[in-house]
Amino acid sequence: MTQAMHRILVVEDEAGIRCVLRTLLEAENYRVVEAENAARAEIEARSDKPDLMLVDLGLPDRDGLDVIRSVRTWSSVPIIVLSARTMEAQKIAALDAGADDYVQKPFGAAELLARLRAVLRRNVRTSEAPAKLRIGEIEVDLAHRSAVGPKGELHLTPLEFRLLECLSRADGMIVRQRHLVAEVWGPDRIEDTLNLRVCVANLRTKLEPDSRRPKYLLTEPGLGYRLRTDV
């Protein structure tokens, strides 16, 4: 089935390790984005909206803990620390900063992949969004990022899946435009509602029987949007 692959942001200053991780993750059908320092990591985290971050603590410009704390002020994206630091206090500091797991270098490929899958599964289970949505004759599987309608598979982009996830958590209630933009594109883009309107319009062409008269993805003028699945 057509599926939007999970996107992993690898934050690591050593090019050789980034290459190893890219090869390992892409072999498992993950999409990989790289950042060689803390500054780049924050840019990529906001712009690419990864599904999971792998973060080294020993970065050249700032400590990886600073990256974790900064990201946690605006995102709940799963974070796994990948570090050579071995002291228990250092591991506790990383978890207290907001990391979900800690893998020590040198790492085994099988263990790292297992930890990654576990964190992604846990993130899906603890989300308030339902695993599946029924929108008219279309079934959307949010957990596996896939969609099927009467004519077969539908291609939804990662942004469109994230927008549906955010709307589905509201359980039919209005979600403000600013909240949707912050959740899908990042808090630094909350005034940019044009991309939100374009994304909503694209979703309607894919999900609505008549995109000019939407029944499921509704606009609440001056407020935001709501997702109705009970009609």
The string of pLDDT tens digits covering residues 188-230 is: 677 788 999 999 999 999 999 999 999 999 998 877 899 998 7
Domain end, chosen from 99, 126, 153, is at 126
CB 37 within 8 A of CB 64: no
Asked if residue 154 and residue 53 are part of one domain, the reply reads no
CATH of the domain at 191: 1.10.10.10
- The Cα–Cα gap between 90 and 96 comes to 10
pTM of the model: 0.56
Laid out side by side, the sheet with 79-83 consists of: 31-35, 7-11, 52-55, 79-83, 101-104
What is the average per-residue pLDDT within 11-31? 95
CB 203 within 8 A of CB 164: yes
* pLDDT tens digits, one per residue of 101-121: 888 888 899 989 988 988 887
The tally of domains found in the chain comes to 2
Burial 74-93 (b: 16+ CB within 10 A, else e): ebebbbbbbbebeeeeebeb
Residue 192 maps to a domain? yes
Is 147 a residue whose pLDDT tops 90?
Answer: yes
**pLDDT at residue 178, as a whole number:** 83
Asked if residue 207 and residue 160 are part of one domain, the reply reads yes
Centre a 10 Å sphere on the Cβ of residue 111 and count the other Cβ atoms it contains: 11
**pLDDT at residue 47, as a whole number:** 86
Asked if residue 118 and residue 25 are part of one domain, the reply reads yes
**pLDDT at residue 101, as a whole number:** 86
More confident site: 91 or 56: 56
Asked if residue 141 and residue 216 are part of one domain, the reply reads yes
**pLDDT at residue 93, as a whole number:** 85
Identify the three-state secondary structure at position 151. Answer: coil
The boundaries of the domain holding residue 207 are 132-227
